[in-house]
A and B are shown apart, each in its own frame.
Chain A
């Protein structure tokens, strides 16, 4: 088929080209600037005019983060443990629930579905007040279990919604065929349907992980023992008050927090793009 296209226009192409360049600079410059500053010595940071790249690369900003008031590797470990815990808990629960909501008819299905959608929109800070009181009583403050449960409150509704969307897209006939061939209901789900939605489960896992990794509010309130803090509240302690102008250290810590996320995103981008839109576009 011949598609008739508009004639080539220099003006239009110029506008598009400039817009693309602007988009890239706008997007990437702050990230580059963060990384570049993290490698600068203080002399370079306060130099006028500022230079794009350090005159001499130093790793001092990273080395200083390890000890003293900023045990960043402790924060890092805590972040990894709680984020992975949230991922496992949220994804296992969401896979079962999402599957049931997509495939089965049962009492309360509609209200539960509506509830899942609406609870994503609650202001977390409101839930946090009673949660703090409950955790105080149940001795869950300053524990991994407590943090994982709290992170899950944020992640689970969205995860359920995503998994349901992915199960919706698998034709139900495949499972029916499996059941005719002698699979039980559970076997049909685990052996036939789940393998088909692996990409969806990967995407959901990454989002659950990122949600927990990025969360500042919950650990800020639910953890006051410095040895149990995750990266975001740890950064607040490290760079609040008198250390506010340790720009090099701040950017080094920011890089450490951001790099795992960027790596995960770049590696799994194909899966994530589907997930980013599914939560909202698919009805």
Chain B
């Protein structure tokens, strides 16, 4: 709060009406509706999921409902598919975020050079960010299709591949395909974040670098980059969390297949819970993910508070 606020409330101490900062009752009335909704749709479900994770609870076999502190968690450790999904999530998240950051940075720097008149182009480049996940999924399923996909045709015309590749039907190719689709969808976000920080770099710093004889590369690594470091950290943490939870694009493009090769943790939890109705076990996996995400969130919140 600004010092003037303190001055103000001190001066009006007697007349409580003017006490600006402390307003417990009013604040509570304003905030309680939100807390009720969040309690009902976030906090309660979370606690219930934690509770469920200690039960053998299958919707299809209600007679087998039983408590066990460790059963589900022990099952996770021995569940090979869980570990495949774990690995897939890490690989998928790492590459989408790394490539997205790089591409977003390049696009931001290039578009930053545009003159005022062409600013509209920057807006155009942002469009993929708002395209619904399901549309991105189907669109890239079509582009990557083995027979009618435009990608196979283009690559063949360019002489990069001999025969059409069955992108969505082979392990690693499918992973590449879903990463490309996500990068297309997300690169504008990084671009925007970098564009905002590039605008914040004072002209005279760059000017000084030039006068001192720095090349463009040196200018980038020693002048521009330090200004972007904070954005780098924040944007990548945020998107790591987001991609850990990503569902629609993978679900529509590959459904987690072929076999388990693009099954991420979210897809796995979904299939366990809503296709096999193994609610107890699915909750246990979910709780493990919540813990992992909480750890990352703590780092994220810390870096938000730190002034880069």
Interface set of A (CB-CB < 8 Å, partner B): 3-6, 12, 16, 19-20, 23-24, 26-28, 30-31, 33-34, 37, 45-46, 48-50, 89, 93-94, 96-97, 99-101, 103-107, 109, 112, 114-119, 121-134, 149-150, 152-153, 156-157, 160, 171-173, 175-176, 179-180, 184-186, 210, 213-214, 216-217, 220-221, 231-232, 235-236, 239, 247, 250-251, 253-254, 257-258, 261-262, 264-266, 269, 273, 276-277, 280-281, 283
Q: Which residues from chain B contact A33 at a C-beta distance below 8 Å?
A: 139, 142-143, 150
CA distance A261 to B287 in the complex (A): 34
Q: Which residues from chain A contact B34 at a C-beta distance below 8 Å?
A: 93-94, 96-97, 156, 160
Instruction: Please state if B244 and A276 are interface contacts (CB–CB under 8 Å).
Output: no
CA distance A276 to B28 in the complex (A): 28
Instruction: Please state if A254 and B245 are interface contacts (CB–CB under 8 Å).
Output: no
Instruction: Please state if A213 and B244 are interface contacts (CB–CB under 8 Å).
Output: no
Instruction: Please state if B148 and A106 are interface contacts (CB–CB under 8 Å).
Output: no
Q: Check A127/B121 contact, CB under 8 A, given A50-B148, A101-B31.
A: no
Q: Check A93/B44 contact, CB under 8 A, given A122-B293, A277-B192.
A: no
The B contact surface, by secondary structure, is helix
Give the contacting residue for B113; candidates A16, A128, A134, A213; CB below 8 A: A16
Give the contacting residue for A172; candidates B1, B35, B52, B121; CB below 8 A: B1
Give the contacting residue for B123; candidates A5, A46, A149, A266; CB below 8 A: A266
Additional A-B contacts beyond A26-B184, A126-B289, A185-B23 (20; CB < 8 A): A23-B111, A30-B184, A97-B31, A104-B24, A104-B27, A112-B35, A121-B245, A122-B46, A124-B247, A126-B45, A126-B283, A129-B45, A130-B48, A235-B252, A236-B251, A247-B142, A265-B130, A269-B123, A277-B192, A281-B196
CA distance A100 to B35 in the complex (A): 12
Instruction: Please state if B132 and A261 are interface contacts (CB–CB under 8 Å).
Output: yes
Whether B133 sits at the interface, judged by CB under 8 Å, is yes
- When C-beta atoms are compared, the residue in chain B nearest to A11 turns out to be B216
Interface centre among B42, B135, B148, B293 (most CB of A within 10 A): B135
Instruction: Please state if B301 and A214 are interface contacts (CB–CB under 8 Å).
Output: no
Instruction: Please state if B235 and A217 are interface contacts (CB–CB under 8 Å).
Output: no
CA distance A178 to B290 in the complex (A): 45
Instruction: Please state if A232 and B134 are interface contacts (CB–CB under 8 Å).
Output: yes
Whether B269 sits at the interface, judged by CB under 8 Å, is yes
How close is B301's CB to chain A, nearest CB, in angstroms? Answer: 6
Instruction: Please state if B114 and A277 are interface contacts (CB–CB under 8 Å).
Output: no
Q: Check A107/B207 contact, CB under 8 A, given A125-B269, A128-B273, A134-B45.
A: no
How close is B199's CB to chain A, nearest CB, in angstroms? Answer: 11
Instruction: Please state if A216 and B134 are interface contacts (CB–CB under 8 Å).
Output: yes
Instruction: Please state if A126 and B18 are interface contacts (CB–CB under 8 Å).
Output: no
Q: Which residues from chain B contact A250 at a C-beta distance below 8 Å?
A: 138, 142
| B: number of interface residues (CB 8 Å) | 109
The A contact surface, by secondary structure, is helix
Q: Which residues from chain A contact B110 at a C-beta distance below 8 Å?
A: 16, 19-20, 23
CA distance A45 to B111 in the complex (A): 34
Instruction: Please state if A172 and B20 are interface contacts (CB–CB under 8 Å).
Output: yes
Whether B77 sits at the interface, judged by CB under 8 Å, is no
Instruction: Please state if B301 and A19 are interface contacts (CB–CB under 8 Å).
Output: no
Q: Which residues from chain B contact A150 at a C-beta distance below 8 Å?
A: 41
Interface-facing stretch out of B2-10, B62-70, B79-87, B171-179: B2-10
Q: Which residues from chain A contact B135 at a C-beta distance below 8 Å?
A: 34, 254, 257-258
- When C-beta atoms are compared, the residue in chain B nearest to A46 turns out to be B148
Instruction: Please state if A23 and B44 are interface contacts (CB–CB under 8 Å).
Output: no
